[in-house]
Amino acid sequence: MAVLQVLNVSKRFGGLQALNDVNLSVEQGHVHAIIGPNGAGKSTLLNCFVGKLVPDTGSVMFDGKSLLGIKPHEINQLGVSRVFQTPEIFDDLTLLENVLIPSFAKRDGGFKVNWWPRVDRERVVRDHAESVLQEIGLYEKRDEVAGSLSRGDKRRLEMAMCLSQDPKLLLLDEPTAGMSRADTNATIDLLKGVGEARGITKIVIEHDMHVVFSLADKISVLAQGTVIAENTPELIKGDPRVQEAYLGGPQE
């Protein structure tokens, strides 16, 4: 069953056709990768999913609901969370405080957080935040200041912040950008395991083909704002259109 359906989406910026009649169907519980060269329209497409941009034509349906015209925080409340290229965390707060903020926001229905909650409500949210840190492997560091973390652990913390909101769909924009190979492999392992018991669907935009082929159930390839191929990783590797547009020649 498709949790996200994109039908005939187009977006133009002046004379630039960023997206041209894009169709995409993301299955429940799958990892769906979107790849393509710089300027292919990947980030523009992602921004149409989270309400930062509104397509000129077409529709974006999530869990049976149209996302067009809905504000970003309302889309988040529906169950869509996003991990950015550069980890978006609060460097001066502890890891636990970082996770508490989105936890309270999800519970309160927005990001106007009530910092004076009743004790029982605070306990429930704190327990939930701590359980997410345990799940993500950062519980022992919960009282450390987030700015002191390695890049890999900052990515883990941002994942924890997203997971604390119990998302149905997790959008990952170049989750391993700037990482060492060791941190990249650790992030791959994390993404393979994270949220599996919850049935979270993941969309990954990534340039590192090692990451893509390690994670994806299906891959969509964008070039000049158009989907030129969509298939399993093994079949994408052998697609001559993909090799020509992005992978740089035949893949072994």
Are 39 and 137 found together in one domain?
no
Are 64 and 121 found together in one domain?
no
Q: Which residues pair with residue 5 across a beta bridge?
A: 25, 61
245 assigned to some structural domain: yes
Are 21 and 48 found together in one domain?
yes
The region that residue 155 occupies, defined by phi over 0 for left and psi between -120 and 50 for alpha, beta otherwise, is alpha
Are 187 and 155 found together in one domain?
no
The number of folded domains in the chain is: 2
C-alpha 129: how far from chain center: 20
* pLDDT in the model for residue 111: 45
* pLDDT in the model for residue 84: 83
Burial class (CB in 10 A: 0-12, 13-18, 19+), 74: middle
84 assigned to some structural domain: no
Give 7-38 pLDDT, tens digit per residue: 999 999 999 999 999 999 999 999 999 999 88
> Could you give the CA distance from residue 53 to residue 69 in angstroms, rounded to a whole number?
9
54 assigned to some structural domain: yes
The confidence band for 114, taking pLDDT boundaries of 50, 70 and 90, is low
Are 75 and 2 found together in one domain?
yes
120 assigned to some structural domain: yes
* pLDDT in the model for residue 240: 86
Are 36 and 93 found together in one domain?
no
Q: Does residue 113 carry a pLDDT above 70?
A: no
113 assigned to some structural domain: yes
Least confident range of 101-110, 161-170, 230-239: 101-110
The whole domain housing 197 covers 1-79+167-252
Of 65, 80, 46, which is closest to residue 201 (Cα–Cα)? 80
Are 143 and 174 found together in one domain?
no
* pLDDT in the model for residue 38: 87
Give 126-176 pLDDT, tens digit per residue: 999 999 999 899 999 999 999 999 988 998 899 999 999 999 999 999 998
133 assigned to some structural domain: yes
> Which of 165, 195, 226 represents a domain boundary (last residue)?
165
Please state the pTM of the whole predicted model: 0.87
Are 251 and 172 found together in one domain?
yes
207 assigned to some structural domain: yes
For residue 237, the domain's CATH number is 3.40.50.300
Q: What is the mean pLDDT of the chain?
A: 88
45 assigned to some structural domain: yes
> Which of 143, 165, 187 represents a domain boundary (last residue)?
165
The confidence band for 120, taking pLDDT boundaries of 50, 70 and 90, is low
> Which of 133, 165, 197 represents a domain boundary (last residue)?
165
Per the model's pLDDT, the better-predicted residue between 196 and 69 turns out to be: 69
Q: Does residue 119 carry a pLDDT above 70?
A: no
Are 138 and 204 found together in one domain?
no
Give 168-220 pLDDT, tens digit per residue: 999 999 998 888 899 899 889 888 887 666 789 999 999 899 999 999 999 99
